């Protein structure tokens, strides 16, 4: 009898423990996406800022800031904010962005202030284009948040030369924050030529403290095991940039999906803090390569598919290789 009572008591404890464990599982975090007064959009997780989509502060749209899983900013402050001791170079490297130095001859990577910064004597009004926000296909929240934006690449006279669909999907996965950036570049206004340029692609500027050149422990590593400066211009399925941020070791991984144009992409990732997936500037980054210039006939499109993971620790602690495998196996839905 005592044995049966003891057994029943043990079973009850185990069942109670299971119930407590189930109750302890955190509910899905609510993600909201709301339009801002300036026409952009702000993404929040349980009321806290995740990222803001900005459409009115430069000649391109961009995300800034992007807040990582521990509440720290994972993007450099400059030029949107003045941070003591922070570098003030490359004014055009704003948050998380897309641009290209020569689309039918017009530059959407640099800004007018970029020309002044480098004092190269060029006339920005003759070559400086822009990426103009045209509207939204959708804004939605829930267990994921979505900003599906439509933009046009325009010349200095605001004549459209290339259309873009950009779907950004925001989510939280365990101890990471994730942004999927799916881009279609569409020759909707006639033929388009994208020249071979190293300053082109999907990019972000990491915090100064994380940059390898900062000497505080920042590291670049790619899927092929190449590290720091050796990873520049190389082709890889993913790259991870990690280092100290406000007393914590944090990282950013960018994945290149197998369905993306010229997968595995080349990487314009620099030890000073630029982090860019660039399938266009193949010869500028490697003189022995074939030109990366692309000519689109009217109606053609290029599909670019990437995932950003903001994580704790280095690429091994965050199990980035395994996370890439899961991403690569997931077909990306079309934007049409």
Q: What is the pLDDT of residue 204?
A: 97
Element (H, E) at 211: none
Question: Token pair for residue 320?
Answer: 């980035």
Q: Tell me: pLDDT of 118 over 70.
A: no
> What pLDDT digit, counting tens, does each position of 149-188 carry?
999 999 999 999 999 999 999 999 999 999 999 999 999 9
State what percent of residues in the chain have pLDDT above 70.
88
d(CA 168, CA 123): 34
Radius of gyration of the chain (CA): 22
Which of 326, 316, 274 has the alpha carbon at shortest distance from 99? 274
Residue 165 inside a domain? The answer is yes
Q: pLDDT tier at 5 (50, 70, 90 boundaries)? A: very low
Q: What is the pLDDT of residue 85?
A: 84
Residue 65 inside a domain? The answer is yes
Residue 334 inside a domain? The answer is no
CA distances from 298 to 162, 286, 336 (A): 10, 30, 16
Calculate the CA dihedral of residues 156, 158, 159, 163 and round it to 10 degrees: 110
Residue 7 inside a domain? The answer is no
Which of 192, 165, 330, 325 has the alpha carbon at shortest distance from 253? 325
Q: Tell me: pLDDT of 121 over 70.
A: no
Residue found by looking up tokens 């599909």 in the block: 303
d(CA 269, CA 44): 28
Q: What is the pLDDT of residue 316?
A: 98
Residue 208 inside a domain? The answer is yes
> Would you call the peptide bond into 65 cis, given omega within 30 degrees of 0 as the criterion?
yes
Q: Tell me: pLDDT of 15 over 80.
A: no
Q: Where would I find the H helices in 68-180?
A: 112-118, 124-127
Q: What is the pLDDT of residue 231?
A: 98
Q: What is the pLDDT of residue 58?
A: 95
Q: pLDDT tier at 27 (50, 70, 90 boundaries)? A: low
Q: Which of 7-16, 42-51, 106-115, 149-158 has the lowest mean pLDDT?
A: 7-16
Q: Tell me: pLDDT of 8 over 60.
A: no
Q: Tell me: pLDDT of 2 over 60.
A: no
Whichever domain contains 127, its CATH number is: 2.70.98
Query: Dihedral sign, CA of 281, 272, 126, 64?
Result: positive
Question: Token pair for residue 229?
Answer: 């400066």
Neighbours of 312 (CB within 10 A): 16
SS3 5: helix
State what percent of residues in the chain have pLDDT above 90.
83
> What pLDDT digit, counting tens, does each position of 211-239 carry?
999 999 999 999 999 999 999 999 999 99
Q: What is the pLDDT of residue 23?
A: 47
pTM of the entire predicted model: 0.90
Residue found by looking up tokens 């109606």 in the block: 299
Residue 19 inside a domain? The answer is no
Q: What is the pLDDT of residue 329?
A: 98
CB neighbour class for 12 (10 Å; exposed up to 12, middle 13-18, buried from 19): exposed
Which of 155, 160, 39, 52 has the alpha carbon at shortest distance from 97? 52
Residue found by looking up tokens 């005592």 in the block: 2
Q: Which residues of 46-71 are buried (b: 16+ CB within 10 A; e: fewer)?
A: eeeebbbbbbeebbbbbbbbbbbbbe
Residue 244 inside a domain? The answer is yes
Please state the domain count of the chain. Answer: 1
Which range of residues forms the domain containing residue 137? 27-328
SS3 336: coil
Backbone angles phi, psi at 198, to 5 degrees: -70, -30
Residue 240 inside a domain? The answer is yes
């Amino acid at each position: 009898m005592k044995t049966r009572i003891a057994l029943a008591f043990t079973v009850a404890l185990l069942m109670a423990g299971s119930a407590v464990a189930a109750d302890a599982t955190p509910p899905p975090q609510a993600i909201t996406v709301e339009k801002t007064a300036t026409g952009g959009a702000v993404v929040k997780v349980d009321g806290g800022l995740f990222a803001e989509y900005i459409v009115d502060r430069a000649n391109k749209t961009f995300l800034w800031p992007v807040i990582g899983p521990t509440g720290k900013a994972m993007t450099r402050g400059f030029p949107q904010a003045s941070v003591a001791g922070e570098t003030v170079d490359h004014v055009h490297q704003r948050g998380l962005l897309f641009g290209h130095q020569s689309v039918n001859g017009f530059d959407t990577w640099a800004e007018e202030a970029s020309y002044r910064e480098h004092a190269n004597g060029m006339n920005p009004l003759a070559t400086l284009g822009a990426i103009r926000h045209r509207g939204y296909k959708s804004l939605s929240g829930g267990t994921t948040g979505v900003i599906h934006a439509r933009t046009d690449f325009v010349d200095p006279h605001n004549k459209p030369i290339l259309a873009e669909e950009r779907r950004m999907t925001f989510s939280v996965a365990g101890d990471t924050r994730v942004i999927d950036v799916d881009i279609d570049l569409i020759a909707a206004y006639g033929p388009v030529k994208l020249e071979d340029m190293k300053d082109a692609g999907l990019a972000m500027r990491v915090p100064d403290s994380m940059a390898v050149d900062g000497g505080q422990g920042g590291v670049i590593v790619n899927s092929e095991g190449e590290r720091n400066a050796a990873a520049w211009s190389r082709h890889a399925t993913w790259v991870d940039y990690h280092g100290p941020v406000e007393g914590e070791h944090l990282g950013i991984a960018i994945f290149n999906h197998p369905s993306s144009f010229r997968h595995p992409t080349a990487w314009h990732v620099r030890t000073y803090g630029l982090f860019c997936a660039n399938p266009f500037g193949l010869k500028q980054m490697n003189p022995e390569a074939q030109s990366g210039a692309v000519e689109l006939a009217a109606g053609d499109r290029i599909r670019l598919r990437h995932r950003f993971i903001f994580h704790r620790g280095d690429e091994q602690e965050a199990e980035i290789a395994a996370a890439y495998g899961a991403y690569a196996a997931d077909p990306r839905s079309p934007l049409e």
